[in-house]
Amino acid sequence: MTFFLLSMVLVAGTFAIVRPAMVAPRSIPLVGATGSHAIILATALAAIALTFDLLTSASVFLALAIHEMGLVLGHRLAGHDGARFRFLPMPRTGPVSTDPQDSDLSHFFVTLMGPALGLAPMVAAFALSDLFPGHPLQQLFGTTALSIGAFNFIALLPVWPLPGGTLVQLLVRPGLPRVSPLPAAVFFAGMASLGWASGTPALFLFALIGTLAYVIRPPLPSGRPPMTLAHLRLAIPAYLAILSAYFLGGWWVLLLITGRF
């Protein structure tokens, strides 16, 4: 019960932070809700359902929706009142906001808000799962929590074009242009080594594809100010804290890929 009460405190705190963006004068428009997007989303969810189960598929869809809402609220908190909710985040759908980011700090904040909004629902779902031991609701809430954790854990990995790759790119730019590829290089080398040592070709292939994608990543806009040292003192712990929080919920994905789950 203590865990549940603490999770409700986290939910209330999260709501208090994003409430100004939720009560903005303009409603949030929905974009990308076309037939082709619906077919792509349904196909992806069907593949997840066939691989795991229907509950996991529905939980992944919920995690995607929460992530997109986090991006919308992050843009609104940053002053982008024209932020849009994307039915399916794809290049054809366009960005959440067409307004350019005025600084690296703003870009970092709105990118991190996508995964950050899922923390409270994940913790609350874990807490609700503990309240119903041996009951079907335990599996319902447990699967929801694990899916939200896995989705955001993957999203925060320092791999371009995942949000985590953008976040790391923003973190290492101030005064360190020559070492900007280093965090990604270390990550991919570790992933490739794990794939080789565990005899998992899929993990090795994922590392190779991620490396190629990171090499061709687009550069950050050069005309806006990078984050200062004071910004980095807050941004780096925030990124690592949220990544660590999703570690317990999302680590099962890497265990599954390596065949140890």
Give the domain ranges of the chain.
2-257
Residue where the block lists tokens 């849009």: 84
Categorize the per-residue pLDDT at 66 as very low, low, confident or very high, splitting at 50, 70 and 90.
very high
Categorize the per-residue pLDDT at 101 as very low, low, confident or very high, splitting at 50, 70 and 90.
confident
Q: Which of 119, 145, 60 is nearest to 239 (CA)?
A: 119
Measure the CA–CA gap between 127 and 8, rounded to whole angstroms: 9
In this predicted structure, what is the pLDDT of residue 261?
Answer: 46
In this predicted structure, what is the pLDDT of residue 221?
Answer: 75
User: Average pLDDT, stretch 117-135?
Assistant: 84
- Residue ranges of the alpha helices (H) in 52-181? 54-77, 104-116, 119-131, 136-155, 163-172
Sign of CA dihedral 239, 243, 246, 248: negative
Q: Which of 118, 114, 153, 164 is nearest to 250 (CA)?
A: 153
Residue where the block lists tokens 């890497």: 254
Question: Do 188 and 205 contact (CB within 8 A), yes or no?
Answer: no
Pair of tokens at residue 95: 């960005």
Q: What is residue 31's DSSP assignment? A: E
Task: Centre a 10 Å sphere on the Cβ of residue 168 and count the other Cβ atoms it contains.
Answer: 25
Measure the CA–CA gap between 84 and 27, rounded to whole angstroms: 9
- Tell me whether residue 26 is exposed, middle or buried, using C-beta atoms within 10 angstroms of its C-beta: 0 to 12, 13 to 18, 19 or more: exposed
Task: Centre a 10 Å sphere on the Cβ of residue 245 and count the other Cβ atoms it contains.
Answer: 20
Of all residues in the chain, what percent carry a pLDDT higher than 90? 2
Q: What is the pLDDT of residues 165-215, one digit of tens each?
A: 888 878 777 655 555 566 666 767 776 776 677 666 666 666 776 666 666
Question: Do 130 and 117 contact (CB within 8 A), yes or no?
Answer: no
Question: Do 236 and 227 contact (CB within 8 A), yes or no?
Answer: no
